[in-house]
Amino acid sequence: QVQLVESGGGLVQAGGSLRLSCAVSRTMVKINRGNWYRQAPGDQRELVAVITAGGSTNYADSVKGRFTISRDNAKNTVDLQMNSLKPEDTGVYYCNMQIATFSGPGDYWGQGTQVTVSS
């Protein structure tokens, strides 16, 4: 069974940085697409960053120039480096991956990690 394990959330002051990591619990898998979403209290979950199988990236306008998504195919991880954090970046961050295994493709979610940015 494939699970995604997130780490790296926490409390940081505005202007600071955090790095989130999302690791696949199994080996012998192929990450096709990796996404990071976030959800603030009372808001809908929004897509923050995407990285494709080929390494192309895309970002929400609100984080462009501040966040960087990356992947390590050898470690089966997708990370999100967050710089120049703002209070409006506060929320629960979820990783999401489309993964191929010997059993076939699937869509998987991490458990979420809290990011709180104080002003």
Phi, psi of 89 (to 5 degrees): -80, -5
pLDDT, one tens digit per residue, over 79-112 is: 999 999 999 999 999 999 999 998 899 999 999 9
Q: What pLDDT does residue 26 have? A: 85
Q: Quick one: the chain helix, strand, coil %, rounded to 5?
A: 5, 60, 40
How is residue 107 written in tokens?
A: 């869509």
Q: How far apart are CA 56 and CA 84, in angstroms?
A: 23
Mean pLDDT, rounded, for 48-68: 97
